[in-house]
Amino acid sequence: TRVRPSSKRCAVIGGSGFLGRHLVEKLLERGYSVAVFDIRQSYELPGVTFYQGDLCDKEALRPALKDVPLVFHCASPAPASDDRALFQRVNVQGTRTVIQACTELGVQKLVLTSSASVVYEGADIKNGTEDIPYAAKPMDYYTETKIKQEKLVLQACDKEGGLLTVAIRPHGIFGPRDPQLVPILVDTARRGKMKFIIGDGTNLVDFTFVENVVHGHILAAEHLRPESPLCGKPYHITNDEPIRF
Ligand code: NAD
């Protein structure tokens, strides 16, 4: 007989990453047991079972998602890798595979980490709502695949007893163990290379503290029900005010 999945079980695809690990730690704090699926294992924690594999491989995903009602998908190749084939394979094809695996295994909820850049077209956005259409000309290929990925996940939302989906759109994320944003800024400044200004110095950019991003993911997961307005919707997530550079 099939074991009824406990509502406090979940899986985090990309749980070895910067955001993923913060999410895992908060989920443990809230009493969840967590399965992490990632191509690398970067830590060990009580309450976490690690499954190492490529999310493009459905057979590898299966054991991690089995008997799990809730899945977070926050895996992606690093934007800086600039590898088009890899972005397409992991973010688009791989996300299709994740959705198929969730559907086949009877997962109830899928929460995607998307990106606010899916609506960015070069002009500042202040107090932008989720009604802004996807960028017709995304700023780079990574973003192009994040748009395709988000569409796939949101379109997979099936309120009639199937998989429920929602997407969270942070922009820059900062916080403890951030591997890229702040370390690269500090390193560049130390080397005396922060002498370039793109634009006239008034461009807006948004950074969100990692714990707020995590909080947004967990709220979305816990409020996602067939009758809730969250179904199949994206949500921008930010701190209070954008920072002016
Ligand atoms: P990260 O690189 O720290 O973590 C990503 C994780 O995904 C890594 O552990 C990596 O091993 C894993 N991964 C990559 N390819 C995989 C594959 N094929 N199969 C299994 N695992 C794979 O990145 P992050 O900053 O934690 O980003 C997490 C998510 O948040 C991503 O979807 C990213 O697009 C999104 N995001 C990040 C930022 C930011 O500022 N960091 C901003 C907006 C959106």
Q: Which atom of ligand 1 has the smallest separation from the CA of 78?
A: 2
CB of 242 sitting under 6 A from ligand 1: no
Show pLDDT as tens, one digit a residue, over the chain (245 residues). 455 555 799 999 999 999 999 999 999 999 999 999 999 999 999 999 999 999 999 999 999 999 999 999 999 999 888 899 999 999 999 999 999 999 999 999 999 999 999 998 888 888 888 989 999 999 999 999 999 999 999 999 998 879 999 999 998 898 999 877 777 777 877 888 766 666 676 776 778 899 999 999 999 999 999 999 999 999 998 876 555 54
Q: From residue 173, give the alpha-carbon distance in Å to each of 19, 29, 72, 166.
A: 8, 21, 17, 19
Sign of CA pseudo-dihedral 179, 62, 87, 168: negative
- What's the rounded Cα separation, in Å, for the pair 154 and 231? 8
CB of 216 sitting under 6 A from ligand 1: no
The structural domains of the chain, ordered by start, are 9-174+204-244 (3.40.50.720)
- What residues are labeled active site? 142
Sign of CA pseudo-dihedral 52, 83, 138, 211: positive
Mutate to test the pocket of ligand 1, among 19, 24, 59, 146 (most ligand atoms within 8 A of CB): 19
The answer to whether residues 115 and 146 touch, using CB atoms and an 8 Å cutoff, is yes
